[in-house]
Every structure is written in structure tokens, then in C-alpha cells.
Amino acid sequence: MVYFDDGKQKRKRGIYRRRRPNGLLYLIIGIVLGAFLFTVALPKMIEMDWLPYKFYLISEDNLFMGEDSEANQEEQFQIFDSIRPVSVDIATQVTTIVEDVMPAVVGVENIQTENFNFWEQAIYDGGTGSGVIYRQQDDRAYIVTNHHVIEDADQIEVILADGSREMAELKGTDLFTDLAVLEIDGSNVNTVMELGDSELTKVGEPVIAIGNPLGLDLSGSVTQGIISGTQRSIPQDFSGDGLADWQAEVIQTDAAINPGNSGGALINMSGLLIGINSMKIAQSAVEGIGFAIPINEAIPVIQELETTGEMTRAFLGVEAYSLVDVPQTEWQRNLNLPSEVTGGIYIQSVEPFSPADYAGLEPYDVIVELDGEAVHTIVDLRKHLYQGKNPDDEMVVSFYRGGEKQQVTVELSTQ
């Protein structure tokens, strides 16, 4: 028996099935509709500014152009943007300061020669450092740098910010303060560094260091940091005997100072020179400890080097240390100081035939006053002696010996 399905039973059951359209038809409709929106509707909506966000077109080399093709060609890079446009000004206080003072920071090249015979001579690069143009007069310019930058140089060459080179004349150098003064032709010099007041610096104050770390390939490098400490005393051993020959008073900063930065500028946020970068602690376990010579300490040295070629200092003739650096056992065993004495200068040795020797000062004496002014550290002694006194001046020294306070007058000589 054959059964014919006329669809009646299916209609009665409510499950009549229609024939579904082909999927290809949906694809064609979607393509046509998308093309219409993309080419006709969207540009019209952009033109009428009906969109809730900004819509930009990239140049014709990338996607497509609208009707305003000439305007679009002027836009090198435009993006879809639903955020309000923001104007960014990259000029900051630091960039402005650096632009102003950078031409006053120069490179200093130490050139050394060695003669083998009448015909042969070898020329060596003794190292490269930095310098600061601090004064210009007539057609001459004057530069301060570090003593160790130009030490043993046969010739000194200064490299200006524009890359031009000038042969420099060494006006004077001082081992103790690690400063040297150079003179060059100032015809190409247009910027001179303005000097600040290092006495006004405060711990935490932001500073900028400018110099040539690791040579001229990185000339004009700028680093930023803060003042980490003021009036730091760093022992200096010039003779190599393991004993301190000098206590350098310096500014401590965490601005990066590397070989080649020596002699460069440490400036404050007013663009004023407050220090001459000089040294850093180079140990694997140490980071961010650099030092600069305070400009207030450098100015009298610079002036004397420029005018006389050398530093003439008053000479006392003692090897001395800050009392606070002396072990307490030494205080109790040999010094016998009153309880009220908490600071001073401990004399370890007296140089024979020196002013101190002639005045009767002895080892284990503790100096507490100079000309009636209290002194607490070796820095106080050197500041009073080297800034307030001249050779042949007299100085009244108050000290303790064996627990008793005494006083002598010393006639200073030349160091």
C-alpha cells in the first residue's frame, strides 16, 4: 500500500515546515548592505556630524579618502578618537634650564706626549673630562675644571658645545681643592654660566648634573637628582701612604656622576652653578653617591689661580683629626678632657720646625677655639685657616692638654 503525504496531517499538528532560504543569499545581502553603509551612509553621517564620537580618516596611502580629500592629505596621522583631544607641552623647567646653560659646559681633553728620540714622538690621550665657562672678558674665556682632569698634560684642548676645538692655556691648578683654571679664545663663546650660592643648598633640593661621561661620545649628558648631603668631609690621600692629607668639603648628590663628568656643572633649579662635579664612590655595593665642590669654596681658589697661578695658603703644621672621629678609649686614656668638651680638633703629630712646633703645640693636644671662635671639626679648622688667614698672620689657639685649657699665639707661614 502506498501512502501520499499531502500535508494535511502536518498542518493539523501545527508543525508545517517551510523551506529555508539558501545561506548564500544572506551573505550577498550582508555584503550589499555593508558596502552601502561604508560608502554612502557613513561619509554622509560624518559630514552631518551625526556620530557620537570623532571619526578621522587615514591618508589615501593607507585606507580611503572622503569628499574632503585635500584636507585629509594634510593629516599625516589621524585616528578614531572618542576621547577629547589633549595638548601636551614637553617643555619643562628642566629642559628650559638645560637649553640655557648647556653651551657653557665644555669638554676638556688631556693630551700627553713622550719623546723617544729627536725624530720620534708619541702622543697619548691622557683622558677626557668636563669644564664650565664661568667668565668671559674681551676676547678671552675662562673655564674651571678639576685638577685631576688636566694633571700631567702637555697640551689641553677644550671642545665647545658646537664641536669646535680651542687650545687652552693652563692658568693655575690646585691639588688640594682639585680645581684648575683654563683660558681660551672666547670668539666662539656665547654663554657663560651664572654662579649661585652653595651655602643656600638644602638636603632634598633637586639638582642637575651636566658633563661628558665616559668621553666625548656622550658629551652634554644630563642627569637629575637631589642634594643628598651638605658639608661632607671626604679624606684625600695624595701621597699614597694610607693617611689622609686633606679633608675635602663637598656636596653629596645622587645625580649620576661618572668618569668624564669630572669638572662638569652641578646646577640648581634656577639654572645657577652651585658645584663642580669632582668624584664618586665607585664600589660594587654602592650606588648614587657622587660629590661636587661647593661653588662658594671654589670661588676664592678660582680667583687666585686665575690671577697668580697658584694657591698660597697659611700653614700651621699639624696632622689633625676631628675629635668625634677619635675612639672614646683614646679620650679616656690620653686626653683627659672635661665632660663639657664634646668637639674639637685632635692633634696626632706636629711637623718639626713648623709654626705649630715653634708655638709649643704637641701631640694629644685638643684645639677647641681659633681666635676666640669655637671649632668642632677638621673642616672648621681648614675653613678658618685657609679662608680667614694669610701667611704671616697671627692666630690665637685655645686647646686642652692633660685636662687643662691653655692658649698660645701662632705665627703662620706659607704652605
Catalytic positions, written as ranges = 148, 178, 262
Backbone angles phi, psi at 303, to 5 degrees: -60, -40
Query: Contact at 8 Å (CB) between 130 and 106?
Result: yes
Q: How many CB atoms lie within 10 A of CB 411?
A: 12
- Element (H or E) spanning 9, and its range? helix 8-12
Whole-angstrom distance, CA of residue 20 vs CA of residue 23? 9
Query: Are the C-beta atoms of residues 219 and 107 closer than 8 Å to each other?
Result: yes
Residue by residue, DSSP assigns 228-240 as EEEEEEEEE-SSS
Other beta carbons within 10 angstroms of residue 350's beta carbon come to 22
Separation of alpha carbons 114 and 8, rounded Å? 119
How many CB atoms are closer than 10 A to CB 64?
13
Residues 44 and 175: their CA atoms lie apart, in Å, by: 80
3-state DSSP assignment of residue 21? coil
Sorted by sequence, the CB contacts under 8 Å of residue 267 that are 6+ apart come out as: 97, 101, 193, 196, 207, 208, 209, 210, 273, 274
In the block, residue with C-alpha cell 682639585: 178
CA distance 2 to 207: 104
Q: What is the DSSP string of 259-313?
A: TT-TT-EEEETTS-EEEEEEEE---TT--S-EEEEEHHHHHHHHHHHHHHSS---
Report how far residue 281's alpha carbon sits from residue 388's, in angstroms, rounded to the nearest whole number. Answer: 31
Rounded to 5°, angle at Cα 232 from 275 and 170: 40
Overall residue count recorded for the chain in this entry: 415
Count CB atoms within 10 A of the CB of residue 196. Answer: 20
CB 234 within 8 A of CB 252: no
